[in-house]
A and B are shown apart, each in its own frame.
Chain A
Amino acid sequence: MKRVYVNEEWCLGCHLCEYNCAFANSGKQDMTDALKGKPIYPRIHIEEGEKICYAVSCRHCTDPICIKSCIAGAISKEDGVVHINQNKCVGCLTCVLVCPYGALAPNENGIMQKCELCLSNTCGEPACVKGCPNKAIVFEERGD
């Protein structure tokens, strides 16, 4: 299946992916209206080390530990995509405790959210990839 992959040597650390993600998942038509003057809660985060930066989002693992650990039965995998049912999530953060990649964070209401590849929002394909100016994030098939 197609996943989001990172080319860390090409990442500029511009954080555009975070803004594009927050906008794509805002349900709003206008980016300024969606983001201006508000704290944003993107599902992708730029990680910055001393000499390196890159974007981190859900890996849609082959055998996801978040699903096995969720105390609310709110996480499932459908067609390869790890999905959170926010209606069931109680915000206990057990998924944060177990994700080895630090790929999940709560939304502004303390309910969990994560990258679902923009498949269920209006973008239809990962907005982070679409807006990346340097192809540091790509959406492609790599040997399953």
Chain B
Amino acid sequence: MAQYVIIGNGVAAIGCIEGIRKEDTQNKIVVISEETHPVYCRPLISYYLEGKTDLEKMAYRNPNFYEEMNCEVLYGRKAVKIDNTTKQITLDDETIIPYNKLCIATGSSPFVPPFAGLETVEHKYSFMTLDNMLELESAISTDSKVLIVGAGLIGLKCAEGLKDRVLSITVCDLAERVLSSILDPDCAAMMQRHLEANGIQFMLGDSAVSFDKNTALMKSGKTVNFDILVLAVGVRANTSLLSEISGKVNRGILINNKMEASIPDIYAAGDCTEGDDISYNGKRVLAILPNAYMQGNCAGINMAGGTAVFDRAIPMNSIGFFGLHTMTAGSYYTADEGGELYEEKTENTLKRLFTRDGYLTGFILIGNSVTSRAGIYTSLIREHIPLNSINFETLKKSACTTAFSQEKRKHIFGGVV
């Protein structure tokens, strides 16, 4: 009997399980789960702190999921070695697990720079997992002064989640702006103003250099006193299992559009991978939940003998802070890179559409009126729709389907899609 093995138990793993089961309902699936929880919605950890969800609602699948899918989950176990010649995996308790087809869905880990004196800080936390969040929650009080290192998606969602539960929050980042991975300077300034208006303090273009117990010494020479330190500097793809057996790895495990890694019978999916970003014409680590599911699902179908291709990956994020939403997608080419920009701006909203060579390559939308129906823009990027085939002048003003040809509308609204 064949056996599928998945290393990891996050959303990519679930996509993989569901992909395998589309093709093969018989053969066993073994899931190696370092975390001791069934799959949960990891991006919801900040919503938990805010009181917008709870542990039960955070379950990504129903309690009988693994049983229904005929999966054995090995909780609290870590894969330490893959032997691709004998097709076996060694676990941290020395158990050997054989595989016929393997999917690496090991995700990413927080990157912690070597700060001097970090060991003297008593209350320091990462903000990646459910356990990280629960530890942080148990340490805070309404008197806590929190310092968050990193003004990216993780650091800022953590700030929002903690806001009403602590005394003060300061966020520092070496970058000059917030959310530097998804927002350009003008858009970042708008979000920063909104975050500041909601009580988050920033020290940008500045970051902690060293720590001494409850004090951070900053690059600028300033000092910050804190009770709780959250380290959200960045993440790194967990690639070592594959690199140790000479599989091809760059910043993530390199995969093709069938989710195959460079070694036969080994696939990879989710935040640990680096695959094609079609808005960029190159490979990128796209550590976002939708891609994790879609990559996992594609891997699973192929592992079980089906035929699937996932060739529509792009960066895309929908994220809100204190009621102000921003949606971003794709790549933002500057004029020097041959890009063109369409912009609409009001005091509280901003729309930027980036085009190049007759295609929409990316967008940044801020404000609840301009984010409405943004998926129509996203589809232009994902489906690589030539702008001369639609009425882009209409579409620039608002995301609508009247900009499509009558034939396409007939297909969408009069047929099965």
Show the binding face of A for B, using Cβ within 8 Å: 3, 5-8, 47-50, 52, 54, 56, 59, 61-62, 65, 68-69, 71-73, 87-88, 90-102, 105, 142-144
In whole Å, how far is B193's beta carbon from the nearest beta carbon of chain A?
A: 21
Complex: A88 Cα to B60 Cα, angstroms: 10
Interfacial residues of chain B within 358-402, with CB under 8 A of chain A in the complex: 371-376, 378-379, 383, 394, 399-402
Complex: A88 Cα to B57 Cα, angstroms: 6
In the complex, what residues of B have CB within 8 A of residue A62's CB? 416-417
Would you list 13 pairs from A and B whose C-beta atoms are within 8 A, ordered by A residue?
A3-B416, A7-B414, A48-B402, A50-B402, A61-B417, A72-B41, A73-B59, A91-B320, A93-B327, A96-B373, A97-B329, A97-B371, A102-B373
Query: With A3-B416, A144-B416 in contact, do A96 and B375 touch (Cβ < 8 Å)?
Result: yes
Complex: A6 Cα to B297 Cα, angstroms: 32
In the complex, what residues of A have CB within 8 A of residue B318's CB? 92-94, 96-97
In the complex, what residues of A have CB within 8 A of residue B297's CB? 68
Query: Do the beta carbons of B375 and A8 come within 8 Å of each other?
Result: no
Query: Do the beta carbons of A68 and B294 come within 8 Å of each other?
Result: yes
Query: Do the beta carbons of B320 and A100 come within 8 Å of each other?
Result: no
Interfacial residues of chain B within 89-144, with CB under 8 A of chain A in the complex: none
A63 to B, closest residue via Cβ: B417
Query: Do the beta carbons of A71 and B289 come within 8 Å of each other?
Result: yes
Interface size class of B (residues with CB under 8 A): 35 or more
Query: Do the beta carbons of B43 and A92 come within 8 Å of each other?
Result: yes
Query: Do the beta carbons of B290 and A49 come within 8 Å of each other?
Result: no
Query: With A68-B293, A69-B289 in contact, do A101 and B400 touch (Cβ < 8 Å)?
Result: no
In the complex, what residues of A have CB within 8 A of residue B41's CB? 71-73
Report whether over half of chain A's contact residues are helix, strand or loop; otherwise say mixed: loop
Quick one: which of A3, A7, A61, A97 contacts B378, CB cutoff 8 A? A97
B219 close to chain A: CB less than 8 A? no
In the complex, what residues of B have CB within 8 A of residue A95's CB? 375
Query: With A62-B416, A92-B319 in contact, do A71 and B376 touch (Cβ < 8 Å)?
Result: no
Query: With A8-B409, A59-B417, A102-B400 in contact, do A93 and B293 touch (Cβ < 8 Å)?
Result: no
B374 to A, closest residue via Cβ: A97
Query: Do the beta carbons of A72 and B378 come within 8 Å of each other?
Result: no
In the complex, what residues of B have CB within 8 A of residue A48's CB? 402
B325 close to chain A: CB less than 8 A? yes
Complex: A61 Cα to B411 Cα, angstroms: 12
Query: Do the beta carbons of A47 and B290 come within 8 Å of each other?
Result: no
In whole Å, how far is B295's beta carbon from the nearest beta carbon of chain A?
A: 10
B61 close to chain A: CB less than 8 A? yes
B377 to A, closest residue via Cβ: A97
B167 close to chain A: CB less than 8 A? no
Query: With A47-B401, A97-B374, A98-B316 in contact, do A73 and B417 touch (Cβ < 8 Å)?
Result: no
A61 to B, closest residue via Cβ: B417
Complex: A5 Cα to B316 Cα, angstroms: 30
Quick one: which of B59, B372, B400, B410 contacts A96, CB cutoff 8 A? B372
In the complex, what residues of A have CB within 8 A of residue B412's CB? 59, 101
